[in-house]
Chain A
Amino acid sequence: MAETTKEMKVVFERPHALLPVVTNYCPGCTHGIVNRLVAEVIDELGVEGKTVGIAPVGCSVMAYDFFACDMIEAAHGRAPAVATAVKRVHPDNVVFAYQGDGDLASIGMAETVHAATRGENITVIFINNAIYGMTGGQMAPTSLPNQITQTSPYGRDVSKAGYPVRVCELLSTLDGVAYLERVTVDTPKSVRNAKKAIRKAFDTQIAKKGYSLVEVVSTCPTNWGLTPSEAFAWMRENMLPYYPLGVYKDVVADGYANAAEAALDRAKDCPLVVPSEEGSNS
């Protein structure tokens, strides 16, 4: 027995960048999985000492107590503005914002869009579970048409409440964006894939290629009124058709060095944008 133990190697354990703290997340909440993936990526890159994370308002508000790197708690929706400034002050820090759908796509939409279009070298981890979890299950900007929530008790009526926002599709039009991918974490395979995407987003930032965001289509068993496993099934059945998984922008795959080069090419017919051979006209 003793010999066997000696040969045993730990192949899965808590990453160093995730503090041994019991989270406030409900049983089965996907926040916990994604928190861990971010921490694993920080560990793999060996950047915990120079990483600054920005926590949102919402269920992951207390992420500042979970991550071992320096953390800032932002006002609701303002994480991209806070992240922008941290990165401007310390350009060699790794800066990530961790946000939910209400925070990122409703109250913080302006901050999200403008940080993206400025091409801030930051990474945003976006949890889309189509509901406001922390406040008890209200309609979110990403709640599906006909989805029943506390504030759409008869189902989201698009004639009155409008349509959900598809964040990756929206941001993919912006020139400052280097990498966008939508993933989920409903199976071990998809968890591995989500981690690859998060790793790529951090790599994108470290290589100073531009703004990166990974959207994780997630669940909220508590406010959906389902068990964790039923919640995954509901997500697969309803959310994935509305929010298709995949890469929405990857300037490197498109053959550019970074977002700036891709933006320049897109505007190649505009003489003001593309500098002439003789140099500037001033």
Chain B
Amino acid sequence: MCAHVPRCGHYGGEVEDMAEKVLMKGNEALAESAMRAGCRFFFGYPITPQTELAAYMAKRMPYVGGTYLQAESEIAAINMVYGAAAAGARVMTSSSSPGVSLKSEGISYMAGADLPGLIINVQRGGPGLGGIQPSQSDYWQATRAMGHGDFHCIVFAPSTVQEMCDLAYGAFDIADKYRNPVMILADGMLGQMMEPVELPKMIDPKTLPEKDWATTGHGDKREHNVINSLYLTADHLEKLNQARFEKYARVEAEEQRSESYLCDDADIIVVAFGASSRVARSAVNTAREQGIKVGLFRPITLWPFPKVALEETCSHAKAYLSVEMNMGQMIDDVKLVVAGRAPVEFYGRTGGVIPTPNEVLTKIKEMQASLIGKAGE
């Protein structure tokens, strides 16, 4: 190891155990924060646009006594996450859309074996190889079908570099609490943009609670632990899946997170997450300046979808607009909550194209005109 490699990859900070404010890329802030949350194991495979995240881990892990390992494939990487999680460690991997598809095998096995772990998807356009520009087209995958079988990933959607940092920091606690894989669904824009970020305190993994279910060697002190997702008796598997869905019900009750911005008196609610919520927020601000009563509802958890908070807006909102960087995926969840009480429209760009605030504003104005027209009828 060359002596000139800085202790803290990007910013050269020396004091790790104190909170500090620095300018960082989203991917790097997330990586640094995950380490500070006690993650000492990173398994990855190169893919754009998550590149900086893995590179940062490779540079930084040796300085915190951690392991960065470049696997032979995304499949191997997620199965290493499975192994390290089984062995009781805080562990993560990161990838981008096509790589996440490959990881779906291991994520399903993690869910089936009740293993905690963090998976980052810095999304790019799809399907197939798609493109390398930012996208949100893996919403369905993340929230509906992150692998085969009856299970859910808990999915967070950051919209700032600070949130990349904060959500990663808390994700391990959530994963450990529910013994379930957690995903952060970011995108190429959030990953590669720079913003000031306040980094959290470094947690020493040795201070984390022991996991009595982990396969660490029984030390002749207990029965053997088994990490497994195979149950050949239908009744047995059904019971386990039912128990897992009771856990998911608790997650739905306890973990819904969202931000409501100017929603209290809004006629029109724009629903957007991640990068597209930044665009939507600008459009909402401009529309407000022009006297349109519009607000932004921003899901921070995509699963569980923040149904309760969105439901509260249904008492007064007259129309909804789902703004996404895809062909319309989250709109399904918005419609499930609104349940026909108001029209739910969609505006989105896909393939890596980022919608502009003006495009969204135009759509808001159209909807406003339509509402006025309806009121006049």
Chain A: residues with CB nearer than 8 A to chain B?
48-52, 54, 61-62, 64-65, 67-75, 78, 81-86, 88-90, 93-94, 110-111, 113-114, 280, 282
In contact, B69 and A84 (Cβ under 8 angstroms): yes
B98 within 8 A of A: no
B86 at the interface (CB under 8 A from A): yes
- Interface-facing stretch out of B210-218, B249-257, B274-282, B341-349: B210-218
* Size class of the contact patch on chain B: 35 or more
A169 to chain B, nearest CB (A): 20
**Would you list which residues of chain B between 87 and 144 have a CB under 8 Å from chain A?**
87-89, 91, 105-106, 109, 113
Check: B75 CB closer than 8 A to any chain A CB.
Answer: yes
Complex: chain A residue closest to B227, CB-CB: A72
Residue of A nearest to B43 (CB): A85
B172 to chain A, nearest CB (A): 15
Interchain CB contact (< 8 A) of B217 among A65, A70, A282: A70
Nearest-neighbor residue (CB-CB) of B86 within chain A: A72
Q: How far is the CB of B87 from chain A (nearest CB, A)?
A: 4
- Give the chain B neighbours of A110 by CB distance below 8 A: 72-73, 75-76
The residue in chain B whose Cβ has the minimal distance to the Cβ of A68 is B224
Q: Is the CB of B215 within 8 A of A74?
A: no
Which of B4, B41, B77, B224 has most chain A Cβ within 10 Å?
Answer: B224
- Do B228 and A72 have beta carbons less than 8 Å apart? yes
Closest A-B pairs by Cβ, 4 of them: A85-B83, A82-B83, A50-B217, A70-B215
Given A49-B219, A74-B79, A111-B79, answer yes or no on A89-B89 (Cβ-Cβ < 8 Å). Answer: yes
Contact B226 A81 (CB under 8 A): no
A81 cross-chain contacts in B, Cβ below 8 A: 71, 75-77, 79-80, 82-83
Contacts of A88 in B (CB 8 A): 41, 67, 69, 80, 84
What number of A-B contacts does a CB cutoff of 8 Å give? 131
Cross-chain contact of A49 among B72, B81, B215, B218 (Cβ < 8 A): B218
Are A90 and B87 in contact, with the CB atoms below 8 A?
A: yes
Q: How far is the CA of A113 from the CA of B83 in the complex (A)?
A: 18
A68 CB to nearest B CB, Å: 6
Supply 16 further A-B pairs (C-beta < 8 A) apart from A72-B215, A86-B84: A49-B217, A49-B220, A51-B217, A65-B226, A69-B218, A70-B217, A70-B225, A71-B225, A75-B105, A78-B76, A81-B71, A85-B86, A88-B84, A89-B41, A89-B87, A89-B88
With beta carbons under 8 angstroms apart, the residue of A48, A61, A114 that contacts B76 is A114
Across the interface, which residues of B come within 8 angstroms of A75, CB to CB?
A: 79, 82, 105-106, 109
Q: Which of chain A's residues have a CB closer than 8 A to the CB of B228?
A: 64, 71-73
In the assembly, what is the distance between CA of A67 and CA of B224, in Å?
9
A260 to chain B, nearest CB (A): 17
Supposing A48-B220, A110-B73 touch, asked if A71 and B226 sit within 8 A by C-beta, the answer is yes
Is the CB of B230 closer than 8 A to any CB of chain A?
Answer: yes
- Assess the B82–A85 pair: CB atoms within 8 A: yes
With a cutoff of 8 Å between Cβ atoms, the chain B residues found around residue A64 in the complex are 226, 228
Question: Shortest Cβ distance from B153 into chain A, in angstroms?
Answer: 17
How far does the alpha carbon of A94 sit from the alpha carbon of B227 in the complex, in Å? 17
> What is the CA–CA distance of A62 and B229 in the complex, to the nearest angstrom?
11
Is B221 located at the chain interface by the 8 A CB criterion?
yes
Most buried by B among A50, A70, A113: A70
B residues near A86, Cβ cutoff 8 Å: 83-84, 86-87, 215
Decide: A70 and B226 in contact? CB cutoff 8 A: yes
Name which residue of chain A comes closest to B109, CB basis: A75
Interface residue? B372 (CB, 8 A): no
Q: In the assembled complex, how far is the CB of residue A122 from the closest CB belonging to chain B, in whole angstroms? A: 11
User: A69 vs B217: C-alpha distance in the bound complex, in angstroms?
Assistant: 7
- Tell me if B41 and A85 are in contact (CB < 8 A): yes
Determine the chain B residues whose CB is within 8 A of the CB of A74 once the complex forms.
79, 82-83, 109
Which residues of B sit under 8 angstroms from A94, Cβ to Cβ?
A: 217
Contact status B82-A82, CB under 8 Å = yes
A85 touches B217 (CB 8 A): no
- Of chain A, the residue at the smallest CB distance from B110 is A75
B3 on interface, CB distance cutoff 8 Å: yes
B72 to A, closest residue via Cβ: A114
| Chain B residues closer than 8 Å to A67, beta-carbon distance | 224
Q: Which residue of B lies closest to A107 (CB)?
A: B75
Bound Cα distance from A199 to B109, whole angstroms:
31
